[in-house]
Amino acid sequence: MCQVLECIDAGTEYCPCYLAETGECIMCSQLQGRTFCDCTNWKGVCIYQEYVNNRKRIKEQRKSFVSRLIEKQFLSENVMLLKFKTNSTLARELNQPGAYVFLRSTEEPAFFDTPMSVMTTDERTGTVTAAVQIRGVKTKALKKIKEELLVRGPYWNGLLGLKYIKGLRNSRALLVTRGIGQAPALPVARKLVAAGNEVEVVLDKGRGGVNFAEQHFRELGCEVVHRSVLQPGTLDVPEETLEYIKKKVLEEGVRLVYTGGSEKLHQGVGRLLASMGAGTFFACSNDARVCCGEGICGSCHTRLADGSRIKTCKTQLGPVDIYGGR
């Protein structure tokens, strides 16, 4: 059976991509090798027509470029902020929830490319800031950057349930974040506040040991609460935190809950919301192991509840579609 999903890059300047040439386009049934059009997620552009009009070739794809490091600030022993120069166009394209870039030291080969969520951008100066938690080989290499780094982007599928965040107006939202998950939560809060929503943020320092985004949340007008969101050892969501979220939804009218952290956090909060049956919108950070970002390498593949496999670096779904099957 032909599987038609929603691709984050559909209709952008990077569509059609490598997947069109290999017969694995996420959205277009004809570019999947079928003879009929089954376009159920119309994005205003016919991908097949774009491919044919481009002489059956893909559009020019994202390339790495050398960027100047403006500032490197260590917030704790294993968390640092990198502020680097891009240009106004890229800074504008990255100024939205779910945006991320690949970063790499100029001294390292291409397989050191590391996906990093964008925390803040400045379109006027063309600068971008990302928070990095230093844990493995790739992030340890980023720690050594002194003057220049390689940047590749923009990418936008850093969140699941993006349509709920973009669609909420004049309502109430609760953001539950832990550790480095604070960084991608900041653009989420900015988008929700701009749409007239009241936003409360539950912060947990996590392994990073610092609430580095707290001041930014407060400057946006968000209410900030400190609370443990994962128990040490079991990594389950504490009962008192689940009760707190339940109270916010049932008694205070929260319409959207966003979680930024590990899969255990998404699963715990997702099960709570499903058991309540209150129709609350649910969105979360995309914690897939993204390697190439183009749907090629297969490292981000995951299985849905129906057993099918998807490329989570490009496919935009709701959290329940993924975590509901586990």
pLDDT mean for each 10 residues of the chain (326 residues): 76 94 92 85 85 95 97 95 97 97 96 97 97 95 96 96 96 97 97 98 93 97 96 90 96 96 93 89 93 93 82 90 62
Q: What is the pLDDT of residue 325?
A: 43
Residues 6+ apart with CB under 8 A from 309: 301, 302, 303
Whole-angstrom distance, CA of residue 119 vs CA of residue 95: 9
Whole-angstrom distance, CA of residue 51 vs CA of residue 19: 11
Q: What is the pLDDT of residue 164?
A: 96
Q: What is the pLDDT of residue 112?
A: 97
Q: What is the pLDDT of residue 244?
A: 97
Nearest to 186 by CA among 142, 227, 224: 224
Task: Give 59's DSSP letter.
Answer: P
Nearest to 202 by CA among 228, 232, 163, 220: 228
Q: What is the pLDDT of residue 326?
A: 47
